[in-house]
Amino acid sequence: MRNVTVLAGGVGGARFTRGLLAHLATAAPDAAVTVIVNTGDDMWLDGLRICPDLDTVMYTLGGGINEEQGWGRPEETRRASSEITAYGRGWSWFTLGDLDLATHIVRTDLLRSGSTLSEATEFLCRRWQPGVRLLPMSDQPVETYVCLDENIDEHAAGDYIHFEEWWVRYRARVAVTRFEQRGLANAVAAPGVLDAIQTADLIVLPPSNPVVSIGTILAVPGVRDALRSTRALVAGVSPIIGGAAVRGMADACLHTIGVDTSALAVGLHYGARSQGGLLDAWLVDETDAAALPALTAAGIRSAAAPLWMTDLPATTAMAAAVLAL
Ligand code: FO1
């Protein structure tokens, strides 16, 4: 087990990867891990380039994450963002903490000086030392927008708003009709991304949001084909336990694309590699063990294990279960 590649979104992907690293430290000490991260949540805010999922993975693996929140820094203050709000600028409902702002300022400084997002990410990782190679899915901007199905505040049905506004301001409780990844047409996989998929021994789809996180990475030209042709085994971990999203509002996203909120439905949504899909294996929680026969019948090797990512031992055990599968 020398090369492991993870396709990750934010909190779920970061926490799982932390467990994976802990497990590999004993099970396969010479393994190298590459994490390909969704950049569809990225945006320009207050003149700064915000990359929520890259920062969540970097902080989580680098020891700088606010553990309760799963994003941002611990012991944060909001003095600068309060001042920005006092000017009537920015998003008052989106917390840019003072410590977190330093990351956005340094990244934006690098981007304005001509660095690519990959180069800026590598620079930031020199400080945080996440213990993985952290790759944005693309160096070209790709932003997820959602189409509102109803009027709310200053928005009307049919309007598109940035995913983060839907997610943070409205907690995904406003009905949307579709997702649009803006910029995809001009996006290419970032340097090293396709190679990390093609040369991996194992590829893991962690319990990130299958629609707006994993789904966005899969939409980058060439990624899905690389996953289909790689010699690596592709194993996924269900983000749904007992018919409910483990975290975030994945159920709202799945509903929008017409996929049931169940471990079985998401596994079938990714599909069996033997049937042109992505998965060789799919790990579900013990409460969803009833789904195993249907998954096996669909050509997806499956098993049940505890999937609540309560702490590091739990995520380490999850990683062990994936590798055993
Ligand atoms: N999530 C929230 O629920 N509220 C916030 O105010 C918020 C601010 C924020 C700032 C920087 C950042 O990197 C992430 C932030 N997040 C916030 C989390 C973010 O919405 C999610 O991590 C992902 O976008 C969804 O996977």
- CATH fold of 3-139+186-324: Rossmann fold (3.40.50)
Q: How do residues 112-128 score in pLDDT, each as one tens digit?
A: 999 999 999 999 999 99
Find out whether the beta carbon of 130 lies less than 6 Å from any atom of ligand 1. no
Residue 243 pLDDT exceeds 90: no
Average pLDDT, stretch 168-176? 95
Tell me the domain boundaries of the chain. Answer: 3-139+186-324, 144-182
Q: Which of 15, 54, 71, 247 to mutate to test the pocket of ligand 1 (most atoms within 8 A of CB)?
A: 71
Find out whether the beta carbon of 71 lies less than 6 Å from any atom of ligand 1. yes
Find out whether the beta carbon of 206 lies less than 6 Å from any atom of ligand 1. no
0.75 exceeded by pTM:
yes
Q: Take atom 25 of ligand 1 and give the residue whose Cα is closest.
A: 10
Looking at the chain, the whole-number percentage of residues with pLDDT higher than 90 is 96
Q: What is the mean pLDDT of the chain?
A: 96
Find out whether the beta carbon of 115 lies less than 6 Å from any atom of ligand 1. no
Whole-number pLDDT of residue 176: 96
3-state SS of the chain? CCEEEEEECCHHHHHHHHHHHHHHHHHCCCCEEEEEECCCCCEEECCEEECHHHHHHHHHHHCCCCCCCCCCCCCCCCHHHHHHHHCCCCCCCCCCCHHHHHHHHHHHHHHHCCCCHHHHHHHHHHHHCCCCEEEECECCCCEEEEEECCCECCECCCCEEEHHHHHHHCCCCCCEEEEEEECHHHCCECCCHHHHHHCCCEEEECCCCCCCCHHHHHHCCCHHHHHHHCCCEEEEECCEECCEECCCCHHHHHHHCCCCCCHHHHHHHHCEHHHCCCECEEEECHHHHHHHHHHHHCCCEEEECCCCCCCHHHHHHHHHHHHHC
